[in-house]
Amino acid sequence: MPIVGFGTAGIDDMDTTIDTALEAGFRHIDTAYVYKTEEAIGKSLKRWFDSGKIKREELFIVTKLPSQGNRAEDVEKYLKQSLENLQMTYVDLYLIHQPVGKLPELDNDGKRAVDPNTDHLIARVRHCTGSKRITTTLNLTYFINVYFLQRMPWRPRSTSGRARSIGLSNFNARQVKRVWENARIKPANNQVELNVFFQRKELVAFCKALDVTICAYSPLGAPGMRTKMHKGDPSLIDMPITNPVVLKLAEKYKKTPSQILIRHSIQRGVVVFDFVLSPEDVYELDFLDRGEKGRAVGPHGPMSKRTPGSTTVLGCIGSPVDPPVRPPLEKNPADTLAPTIGLP
């Protein structure tokens, strides 16, 4: 998976956006069923495929199962619909968008209520073995493994190969742990909100220990959303991209504040810019972490309605490249959490 990706939530002019992203070198495109951008992305990418400028195998396409699809009998329907929208035969990564399932029907307020018959892991599925019909409770991630990564005897061969890898989104450490312990094919990725104000060091360390990569949405702190939420002068709103420490380092390295923030997010991954932050500067940025108060998007993950451009970059953490050597007396707490974290 390319270390930096391009998010597509809240974008209207998809042709121009995709053209700009691909011309700039992006090859990792992130979307979701609930963003309602899959069809526009599919049309834009088909132009590029037909022109011969790029091939499908050169791209890494991510989409997500909506929460109203968190049932065994619905996964195939939504994945097929996403592939039809994208005009593709497979996606490179298919994520469970939310850890909690919702009812497919809208209530009187036009919203979907939480489905009491589902939780963040379990779904019931029936299959035939010989003449017997068996009902079993399966891990939802395992269900996707069965139906889309393998050719199991009770499913048509045509259902295999639609997702090259599977993963999670907005799952906390306990939820990741339960999935990882129960899934025969482990999730490859967990996409969560993560920025310099909301660094989630324990979750990053825990996922790294399980070899589950972290993909950070809103790594710039969603400045557009923060401005919209506070309805004020952007210069007066406290956000990562205008933080004095970030501005100081941008001047020091002759980079933009956005580049400093992205570089910080992926400092332990593959180098994507022509500079590396010093350990001292990484620590200075580490201390900007505000925990839950640093969220920009909210506790329930990405919303279907967003400020355009608020999630245009994804920084993915968890490559096998080792982090820079830390000063011996100033160890990052996240470096020591992974071997000792114990969750019920």
Which residues does 166 contact at the CB level (< 8 Å), separation at least 6? 93, 94, 95, 96, 141, 144, 145, 148, 149, 185, 187, 188
The alpha carbon of residue 327 and the mean position of all alpha carbons in its chain are separated, in whole angstroms, by 31
Q: C-alpha distances in angstroms, 172 versus 56, 98, 178, 206? A: 32, 11, 10, 10
Which residues is 138 bridged to in the sheet? Answer: 123
Which residues is 193 bridged to in the sheet? Answer: 217
Q: How many Cα atoms within 13 Å fall on the side-chain side of residue 99?
A: 18
Can 253 be counted among the known catalytic residues?
A: no
The candidate with the shortest Cα–Cα distance to 302, out of 10, 77, 59, 1, is: 10
Which residue among the candidates 33, 35, 94, 217 is catalytic per the annotation? 35
Distance CA 106, CA 154 (A): 33
Catalytic residue IDs:
35
